[in-house]
């Protein structure tokens, strides 16, 4: 169970893909620039210890998602069309984890979204 919690924690770090680099604002739409700003959400997620009990992990995730519901809706709204389904899937997985399903990350492939963020947000 703790291995899955560690995988979930790592997933949160990966999902927060963009760093603090500046994007090429001339090449991006207003919505895409907003997405690059929003996707830096690592600070919005709980700092759960790697050895946290599953109940503590899911409780902290649930609290965080409730607190940041408007933020996640804005993130989905700003997501570029080519990665919007990946962003929706990632947030859906976070919601499922917050509900206690730590297997929600199994099979989740965010390669396309990660690459878009790398190409467009990390300049």
**Which parts of the chain are beta strand (E)?**
none
Q: What is the separation of C-alpha 43 from the centre of its chain, rounded to a whole number of angstroms?
A: 11
| Helix (H) / strand (E) containing 38 | helix 30-38
Q: pLDDT digit of tens for each residue in the chain (123 aa)?
A: 554 554 455 455 445 544 444 444 458 899 999 999 998 766 677 777 778 888 888 888 888 889 989 999 999 999 999 999 999 999 999 899 888 887 888 889 999 999 999 999 876
The residues spanned by each domain of the chain are: 2-120
């Amino acid at each position: 169970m703790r291995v899955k919690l560690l995988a979930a924690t790592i997933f949160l770090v990966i999902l927060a893909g963009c760093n603090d680099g500046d994007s090429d604002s001339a090449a991006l739409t207003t919505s895409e620039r907003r997405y690059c700003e929003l996707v830096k959400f690592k600070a919005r997620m709980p700092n759960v210890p790697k050895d946290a009990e599953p109940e503590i992990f899911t409780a902290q995730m649930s609290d965080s998602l409730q607190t940041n519901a408007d933020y996640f809706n804005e993130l989905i709204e700003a997501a570029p069309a080519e990665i919007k389904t990946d962003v929706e899937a990632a947030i859906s997985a976070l919601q499922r984890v917050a509900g206690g399903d730590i297997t929600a990350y199994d099979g989740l492939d965010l390669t396309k979204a990660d690459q878009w963020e790398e190409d467009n947000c990390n300049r």
